[in-house]
Every structure is written in structure tokens, then in C-alpha cells.
Chains A and B, each alone.
Chain A
């Protein structure tokens, strides 16, 4: 699957993302995606409508009973609370299915050489959704599902996931706990929601690397972890595909966390991960939006992230 020169970055999204509505004042709001759209509307991207996923890819990560339970609780109108963070509105399941469809399609496009790399701009996010538990604003484990799709449906042997959202990717970890064909790296503030993600949580095969970061720490510490831990493991693992759980809430201005990353730290992380993908898998990167709750900074951070993807796909 060699990369063809002159390819572009695919941008996958779907209007259903606006129909997943949380209660007023909730941090994970429709305006997040509006901000991201506004900041990236002039970029020359291969814009693709995310298809709605059927149960097939979802069932690799969640049991049928879990999907059925979400469908059963879906309200015809209004909003239903699944827990104090996570809600369903009438459009939520459709939006979540398009989130899965979008990232699965992104993987296919990148593996089939239709795009050099891809960004999936959907909500709700996914990395907190465990195999049998929705939580932390998340319904389906999008990135874990994408990894399993790449392994099972596309017969890859090695997939890496880097999650730089400020909260631990507990859902991705839970779903992929026994999967030795992946390497999963999560960096996150600790102590912070959801409370998991200590260094001694390593997966059934030692394939999971958790990097808790102390409150108020800057991007310099993450850069060090990236250079000393993530990149060397990637060099040894030689992934055939790199997935990114792109949360932008480690930024100093984010209201839901306490890390002090600057814009340049996200730029650095994206660039170094793209470098690694270039080295090992012809630049095949699929990145998906997770958190990031400052409406004034989210758009610019996502724009820079996607702009770097573009540089690498050109």
C-alpha cells in the first residue's frame, strides 16, 4: 500500500454531529464543532461525508447488548442522562454511528491510498467509552474500533494509537486490554478524571503505555516522554498505521484540566508523530477529535494539527 505523492488530507465529518445535544452549559457542546469548522473551512482538504456505521465494526469493541441498550434509552425528544457526564438526545446514536463510520472510512481511505492521512471531526468523542460502559461524554470507542477494523477487516498486524487528550483513554485501554497487535500510549493529567491510567496499567501483553502527567506540568515534560518513550517504542514496533486520539484539552487555557501546554506543544507532538508515521508506514495517520473545551482555542489548535497532517500528505 505505497503512498502516492501529491495526495491530500481527508477531512471526514457529518451533519449528524450537530444533532447530539447535551444539556445547556455542558462543556461538550455543538459549538465545539462549529469552532473547528470555522477555523478549518478554508483549508484545502478532501472533504468526505462520514458514512453511518452498521453494527459490524462496533461489535468488535462493544457487545450487542450495549448497542441495544443505547438504542433503547434513546429519547424521541429531550435529553436522557446516562451518567452525570454522558447524555443521549434523539440524534445521539446517529451521530455516534457516524463517528464510527467516519473513522472506519478514514482508515480505509488511508490504507487504500485515497488520502495520505485523515482527520475525523465528529462528536460525541470516544476514548472514554469502555466495552460495556458509556462514560465521560463518550458512547462508542471510535479509535479502538478503528484499530480493530484495521486489524480484523484490513488484516494489518501492527497498529499504534497515541492519545494526547488530557484525560486517560480508559475506554480505548479497556477495549484493547488483551490485544497484542496494538501499542497504545496515553498521556494524561493525574489525578484527574477518570482516575485510571497509572504507569502500572500495562495491558495483558505489556502493550499499553500510560504516562500520567502532574498538575501544572508543561508541554516540555510531554515532549520528553514523546522522545524517550513513545517514539522509541514506535521504532521497535514499526506500526502499519498510526491512530491519534486528538484531544486538545491539555492546553493551558482549557477549562476542564490543569496542564500548561502551549499551542507549540500540540504542533510539536503532531509533527513528531507524523515523522514517525512517515518512517514506518508511509505516513498513514488517522486522527480523530476527542476533547478540547475552550471554544476560543480549539479551532486554532485543530487547524494547526490538520495543517501539519496536510504538510505530510502533500
Chain B
């Protein structure tokens, strides 16, 4: 199982969607379902962090120090 903190947004989101599908399908054993939820929760938080970071970078581009768009800082979603 990959280290969540090193995952890209896309990979984390993909795994999260898969986990939610598994939990909803009822094919996960009772004792395993909480572990899956905990993994999903970590993935969700990681995705939220990545999104917040991306939003911050977008904000930097669009506003810049003088309020003008600079385009100097490329957005890296990874």
C-alpha cells in the first residue's frame, strides 16, 4: 500500500473512489471495513491538502504582489 503523503492528487483521488465503491458494495469483511475507512480518510485529507496547495499557487499567479497577474509561478498539482 502506497504512502499517502507521497501520492499525487490523481492517484489519491483514484484510490479514494475505489475504496468508497468497495465499502458501499458490501464486499469488505467487517473487521477490514474500518481499516479501509481510515485509509480513505487519510486519502481524503491528502487530496484536500493538495487542493489547498494548488489554490494557493493559483492565487499567487492571479494576484501577484502588486495585484497584477504575473504568471511567474507555474502550478504543479503533484
Given A215-B41, A258-B37: A195 and B26 within 8 A (CB)?
Answer: yes
A-B contact pairs, 25 of them (CB 8 A): A26-B31, A83-B29, A84-B29, A85-B29, A85-B31, A137-B30, A191-B20, A191-B24, A191-B37, A192-B23, A192-B34, A192-B37, A193-B26, A193-B29, A193-B30, A193-B33, A194-B26, A195-B24, A196-B26, A215-B41, A256-B30, A256-B31, A256-B33, A256-B34, A258-B34
Docked pose: A167 CA to B34 CA in angstroms: 11
Cβ-based interface call for B76 (8 A)? no
Task: Give the interface size bracket for B toward A.
Answer: 10 to 19
Nearest to A254 among chain B residues (CB) is B34
Docked pose: A93 CA to B4 CA in angstroms: 43
Cβ-based interface call for A136 (8 A)? yes
Q: Mark A244-260, 1 if CB is under 8 A from B, else 0.
A: 00000000000111100
Cβ-based interface call for B32 (8 A)? yes
Docked pose: A191 CA to B27 CA in angstroms: 12
Cβ-based interface call for B28 (8 A)? yes
Interface of A toward B, CB cutoff 8 Å:
26-27, 83-85, 128, 136-137, 167, 191-196, 215, 255-258
B38: chain A residues at CB < 8 Å are 258
Q: Mark B29-62, 1 if CB is under 8 A from A, else 0.
A: 1111110011001000000000000000000000
Q: Mark B16-28, 1 if CB is under 8 A from A, else 0.
A: 0000100111111
Interface of B toward A, CB cutoff 8 Å:
20, 23-34, 37-38, 41
Nearest to A128 among chain B residues (CB) is B30
A85: chain B residues at CB < 8 Å are 29-31
Q: Is the interface of B mostly helix, strand, loop or mixed?
A: helix
B31 touches A195 (CB 8 A): no
Q: Is the interface of A mostly helix, strand, loop or mixed?
A: loop
A128: chain B residues at CB < 8 Å are 30
Given A191-B20, A215-B41: A255 and B25 within 8 A (CB)?
Answer: no
Docked pose: A188 CA to B59 CA in angstroms: 41
User: Could you tell me the distance in whole angstroms from the C-beta of B38 to the nearest C-beta in chain A?
Assistant: 8
Nearest to B20 among chain A residues (CB) is A191
A192: chain B residues at CB < 8 Å are 23, 33-34, 37
Nearest to B32 among chain A residues (CB) is A84
A27: chain B residues at CB < 8 Å are 31
User: Could you tell me the distance in whole angstroms from the C-beta of B37 to the nearest C-beta in chain A?
Assistant: 6
B41: chain A residues at CB < 8 Å are 215
User: Could you tell me the distance in whole angstroms from the C-beta of B55 to the nearest C-beta in chain A?
Assistant: 24
B32: chain A residues at CB < 8 Å are 84
User: Could you tell me the distance in whole angstroms from the C-beta of B9 to the nearest C-beta in chain A?
Assistant: 21
A196: chain B residues at CB < 8 Å are 26
User: Could you tell me the distance in whole angstroms from the C-beta of B48 to the nearest C-beta in chain A?
Assistant: 15
User: Could you tell me the distance in whole angstroms from the C-beta of B15 to the nearest C-beta in chain A?
Assistant: 15
Docked pose: A221 CA to B58 CA in angstroms: 38
A257: chain B residues at CB < 8 Å are 34
B33: chain A residues at CB < 8 Å are 192-193, 256
B34 touches A255 (CB 8 A): yes
Docked pose: A48 CA to B34 CA in angstroms: 36
B34 touches A195 (CB 8 A): no
Q: A193-B29, A195-B24, A215-B41 are in contact. List 14 more A-B contacts (CB 8 A).
A: A84-B32, A85-B29, A85-B31, A136-B30, A167-B30, A191-B24, A191-B37, A193-B23, A193-B26, A193-B28, A194-B26, A195-B27, A257-B34, A258-B34
